[in-house]
Amino acid sequence: MTPSDVKATLSFSDGSASMDLPIYKGTVGPDVIDIRKLYAQTGKFTYDPGFLSTASCNSNITYIDGDKGELLYRGYPIEQLATNCDFLETCHLLLYGELPDLAKKTAFVKLVTNHTMVNEQMQFFLRGFRRDAHPMAVMTGLVGGLSAFYHDSTDINNPQHREIAAIRLIAKMPTLVAMSYKYSIGQPFIYPRNDLGYTANFMHMMFATPCETYETNDVLVRAMDRIFILHADHEQNASTSTVRLCGSSGTNPFAAIAAGVACLWGPAHGGANEAALNMLEDIQRNGGIEKIGEFIKNVKDKNSTVKLMGFGHRVYKNYDPRAKLMRETCYEVLNALGLQDDPLFKLAMALEKIALEDEYFVSRKLYPNVDFYSGIVQRAIGIPVSLFTAIFALARTVGWIAQLNEMIGDPEYKIGRPRQLFVGSTSRDVLPIGQR
Ligand code: CMC
């Protein structure tokens, strides 16, 4: 953090002493006002529910310019990574700060590949779940459960433990997601195949059976790999902040990532891809393109709770760059599968066009986000809707763990402990039960 020459001065209208607050500059993006000494010097907290104006950390991993619609991982634009790199190269970048050269890539791929299997005992743990449980419920349990199986990598303060936990999590997430899918449809688990690439192996574990191999299709593998890249990190979003806060207590990495999985599940966050596809299917069932006007009217009605899922973002006030790439992938996948006339894709494009021209969406700067098209791609690949968020979790694991490790490695880090403005009852006495 570079100190700025400018200082902020906080003054009070009641005449109490004003206070100078230091300002720091990042390499790009808004400066921050350091309020750490505010309470000690003024006895006052700041109030910022939802963290609308609060930077909770400094980070050198991911940068978003929401007004421009720009997303950089370690300085590289998402468009270039999605076009020129694969997911494991992106993981290397997020974890270690640089894209690998060929030798480093080979070593990294080998390292991750060596950890794709999960402890055999985990399948018995999985069998305790109902078959119709939501995959995110199962994943929250399984990821948390990893800490019970890998005791040799649970010390968050040990850099070697953190490194091996990171590799294990990246390597085992596809296996766990595929296992939870197989369990839900009553098919045997399929072991990983280490002669396949990371993403092709995931699709093999999802779609092969003991009696039939799965023929991987390059376009579909590339599409799935791109979904992983686009979801790999997104700076201090709700689930990443959850992972950081959870990890700040010194808990083990698997427990912290399980907290991230739980947070991601919500429909305002990772659950939006599932919600967006369900919304498109609903509109389709109720009359399709003809009924878009009615649907949009409902979204705009102040008294309704209906939202246009896959639209809007806390940070992007412009087109989400991931949504553009996802729409491009959508074309490729539907073409490769001969589904150019897919009604849901047509519906999504019509909905997007109408929303982008509508004053309600324009004035609020609501644009499609990554989830608007990702569901259509996954559905075309054969992924069931209920698994979409688990796939998001698989991809985001590297971002969570990179952010967690960055925090633990920072000598300035402290346990996260927000304050509050208390508005409840002041101290009062308990009355005997007969007098209450
Ligand atoms: N449909 C209709 N209206 C919306 C939408 C939407 N999708 N999103 C925001 N608005 C309205 C909102 O009602 C508010 O209107 P008003 O000013 O009249 O009260 C205004 O736009 C500002 O919205 P907000 O709720 O204050 O914005 P936020 O930053 O708190 O919420 C959001 C961001 C992503 C939770 C929200 O846009 C949303 O719920 N979108 C749909 C869910 C979704 O697609 N989430 C995925 C996010 S991207 C993937 C990820 O990172 O997880």
Q: What is the pLDDT of residue 373?
A: 87
218 is catalytic: no
Going by C-alpha positions, the residue among 108, 417, 87, 353 that lies closest to residue 224 is: 87
DSSP result, 205-231: HHH-BTTB-----HHHHHHHHHHHHHT
d(CA 200, CA 222): 9
Helix (H, G, I), strand (E, B) or coil at 288: helix
Angle at the Cα of 180 from the Cα atoms of 178 and 183, rounded to 5 degrees: 105
Ligand 1 atom, smallest distance to 299 CA:
2
**Residue 314 CA to ligand 1 centre (angstroms):** 7
What the block records as the tokens of 152 is: 């040799």
**Residue 17 CA to ligand 1 centre (angstroms):** 40
Q: What is the pLDDT of residue 234?
A: 96
d(CA 90, CA 96): 10
Cβ-contact 403, 244 below 8 angstroms: yes
**Residue 310 CA to ligand 1 centre (angstroms):** 9
> Which amino acid does the sequence have at 302?
K
Query: Is the model's pLDDT at 226 over the cut of 90?
Result: yes
- How many other C-beta atoms are found inside a 10 Å radius of the C-beta of residue 301? 10
- Across the beta sheet with 70-73, the strand order is 62-65, 70-73, 76-77
Query: Is the model's pLDDT at 24 over the cut of 90?
Result: yes
In angstroms, the Cα distances linking 399 to 151, 243, 248 are 22, 10, 16
E strand or H helix at 38 = helix 38-42
d(CA 232, CA 95): 11
Read off the pTM.
0.93
Q: What is the pLDDT of residue 258?
A: 97
Q: Over the stretch 49-107, which tens digit does the pLDDT of each residue have?
A: 999 999 999 999 999 999 999 999 999 999 999 999 999 999 999 999 999 999 999 99
Ligand 1 atom, smallest distance to 269 CA:
52
The residues, any chain, with a CB within 8 Å of residue 289's CB and separated by 6 or more, are 346, 347, 350
Ligand 1 within 6 A of 366 CB? Answer: yes
State the catalytic residue, choosing from 134, 234, 269, 313.
313
Q: What percent of the chain has pLDDT over 70?
A: 100
> Count of residues for the chain?
436
Going by C-alpha positions, the residue among 347, 380, 159 that lies closest to residue 253 is: 159
d(CA 340, CA 338): 6
d(CA 184, CA 173): 17
Mutational test site, ligand 1, from 261, 278, 313, 374, max ligand atoms within 8 Å of CB: 313
The residue with greater pLDDT, 155 or 235, is 235
Ligand 1 atom, smallest distance to 237 CA:
51
Q: What is the pLDDT of residue 144?
A: 94
Helix (H, G, I), strand (E, B) or coil at 19: strand
What the block records as the tokens of 199 is: 């993403």
The residue whose CA is least distant from atom 36 of ligand 1 is 312
Ligand 1 within 6 A of 7 CB? Answer: no
Task: Read off the pLDDT of each residue in 391-397 and give the average, rounded to a whole number.
Answer: 97
Ligand 1 within 6 A of 309 CB? Answer: yes
d(CA 195, CA 113): 9
Query: Is the model's pLDDT at 175 over the cut of 90?
Result: yes
Angle at the Cα of 411 from the Cα atoms of 408 and 416, rounded to 5 degrees: 55
> Which amino acid does the sequence have at 432?
P
Going by C-alpha positions, the residue among 103, 105, 70, 69 that lies closest to residue 85 is: 105
DSSP result, 370-414: THHHHHHHHHHHT--GGGHHHHHHHHHHHHHHHHHHHHHH-TT--
d(CA 257, CA 261): 6
Q: Over the stretch 327-348, which tens digit does the pLDDT of each residue have?
A: 999 989 999 999 888 888 888 8
Q: What is the pLDDT of residue 375?
A: 87
The residue whose CA is least distant from atom 16 of ligand 1 is 364
DSSP result, 137-159: HHHHHHHHHHHHH-GGG--TT-H
Q: Over the stretch 133-148, which tens digit does the pLDDT of each residue have?
A: 999 999 999 999 999 9
Cβ-contact 21, 8 below 8 angstroms: yes
Mutational test site, ligand 1, from 54, 352, 366, max ligand atoms within 8 Å of CB: 366
What the block records as the tokens of 129 is: 């779940």
Q: What are phi and psi of 185, to 5 degrees?
A: -105, 5
Mutational test site, ligand 1, from 51, 237, 242, 311, max ligand atoms within 8 Å of CB: 311
Q: What is the pLDDT of residue 355?
A: 86
Ligand 1 within 6 A of 237 CB? Answer: yes
Q: What is the pLDDT of residue 391?
A: 96
- How many other C-beta atoms are found inside a 10 Å radius of the C-beta of residue 8? 14
The residue with greater pLDDT, 32 or 413, is 32
48 is catalytic: no
Ligand 1 atom, smallest distance to 315 CA:
29
Q: What is the pLDDT of residue 34?
A: 96
Question: Rounded mean pLDDT of the chain?
Answer: 94
Ligand 1 atom, smallest distance to 314 CA:
29
Q: Over the stretch 280-310, which tens digit does the pLDDT of each residue have?
A: 999 999 888 888 988 899 999 989 888 999 8
The set of long-range contacts for 213-222, using a CB threshold of 8 Å and a minimum separation of 24, is: 217/336, 219/332, 219/333, 219/336, 220/333, 220/336, 220/337, 220/381, 221/197, 222/332
Going by C-alpha positions, the residue among 233, 228, 193, 299 that lies closest to residue 82 is: 228
